[in-house]
Amino acid sequence: MDTKTVKKKKESSRSLFYRISAWLHLWLGLVTGIVMIIVCLTGCIWVFQDEITSLVLEPEANVSYQDKPVVQPSHIMAIAANEFPDKRVASAYYLQGRAIEVIIGGRRRGGPTLKIHPYTGQIMGKTVRKEGEVSFFRWVLNGHRFLWLPFKIGRPIVNYSTLIFVITLITGMVLWWPQKWTKSTRERSFTIKWNGSAKRVNYDLHNVLGFYSLLVVAAISMTGMVYGIEWFSKGLYWTTTGGKTLPPYAQNHSDTIQTLRPYTPAQAADGAWQQVASKHPDSKGFFMMYPDSSDRKAPITVTVYPSRGKFYDNQGYAFDQFTLKPLPKDEVYGTKFSEASFGNKLRRMNYDIHVGSILGLPGKVLAFFASLIGASLPVTGFIIWWGKKKRGTKKGKKSKSQAKQVDPTQPFQPARRSPVNRTVGPVFVPSTHSNPTSDSTNV
């Protein structure tokens, strides 16, 4: 019985579900492989953006905590006006232990960035970028989100490649599951045979590491899909809230017909800040969006971050830029985390689950290695497929060459018996193609 026949019998013994899963796993993985390598590798880097920025890229922006009042938003406006008279302050990000990051002009349109000492108001750094120029981590994020392509082209590619990747994870689990649980199948399924051949080690890296990282990689992938695939985002929210529709983000507007203007823009900024800071004196960070002077409807928004390095428990506030009247809060992100429903809590934890920060530093390490394994799966899978394809091609050529050795024009000549082989009963001849220690199936 030849190996090809055994292979066909083995495949025919598998269920239709298994064979469909194998076909989907192969071709979907080949189609999306390169995209997911880029997405996973950029995700690995993004996970530690805060740590890399603090330790490597901008160590000079680290500021020891002091029990002193921080500079007010109006002070930041004055500093920015002195440095860039023709530009407005777009936002200010206060983070305990770091200089205040002030964006001038607008984040998406490029422009300067100031690093301001939170207690003295001293300028600790200034960056002026050209139109379209971005920082290192913004470049990483652009690759992660849309492959450095035009947004409308790259974003759908990343979104639906991620969806396909989740399908390959599910079909991979089907292929991983042994037909029978024995001692040998358990060893093959849960351990890597490091002393095996290169082919065997590569197979184990794909099979075993894929199993161990399955749940984490699937969680990272699906939380990423929440940001990119609208129907998935709404469907997940509907499922986790018991049939509720995902509410849109609160679109608050300042009252443009208000004739009374009791506050200047600087006073309004300080007033909004003080209202929020007084309610959250122990928070580790604040993000303030200044209103666009060219858009009179724009409100002042302040987001509070009670925990450093985590975003799920943040709380957002919005104020009329003229009267400082509090505007309606967002249904999902405007309330306290402890008071939110299960579905809203899960939605608010989405980013922290995506980057692993939900579990602190250990969670980030877990997300890093899971993403690294996710990037390796298309590579090891391609090597497995290529090896099988190459082996099949060699077998096909060998069969053709053997067929050519038979000359149909010559009469059949029976093989002559050697006197040595004239024995009673069968004679066992060890096959030169059989190796009990090899990684392939012995027939």
> For the chain, what are the domain ranges?
65-133
Indicate the pTM of the whole model: 0.84
Could you tell me which of 145, 298, 296 has the C-alpha nearest to residue 224?
A: 145
Burial of 186 (0-12, 13-18, 19+ CB in 10 A): exposed
CA distance linking residue 75 with residue 269, whole number of Å:
10
Helix ranges, 191-297 (H): 198-212, 214-228, 230-240, 265-279
The residue assigned the tokens 């004196």 is: 281
Q: Are 258 and 323 in contact (CB under 8 A)?
A: yes
Per-residue confidence (pLDDT) for residue 384, from 0 to 100: 95
Half-sphere exposure of 147 (CA within 13 A, CB side): 19
What whole-number distance in Å separates Cα of residue 101 and Cα of residue 285?
11
pLDDT at 192: 96
Max CA separation in the chain (angstroms) = 119
At the topology level, CATH places domain 65-133 in: Nuclear Transport Factor 2; Chain: A, (3.10.450)
What's the helix, strand, coil split of the chain in %, to 5? 55, 10, 40
- Count CB-CB contacts under 10 A for residue 221: 24
What is the reported pLDDT for 237? Answer: 97
- What is the model's pLDDT at position 400? 60
Mean pLDDT, consecutive 10-residue stretches, the chain (443 aa), reads 53 83 96 97 97 95 94 96 92 96 75 94 92 90 97 97 98 95 94 95 97 98 96 97 92 82 90 95 94 86 94 95 92 93 96 97 97 98 91 66 51 46 36 37 32
Cα dist from 88 to 32, 317, 341, whole Å: 43, 21, 38
The pair phi, psi for residue 361, each rounded to 5°, is -60, -45
* Predicted local distance difference test score (pLDDT) of residue 107: 55
Q: What's the chain's Rg over C-alpha atoms?
A: 31
Quick one: tokens of 249? 């983000």
Strand 315-319, strand 89-95: pairing: unpaired
Strand partners, 128: 112
What is the reported pLDDT for 425?
Answer: 39
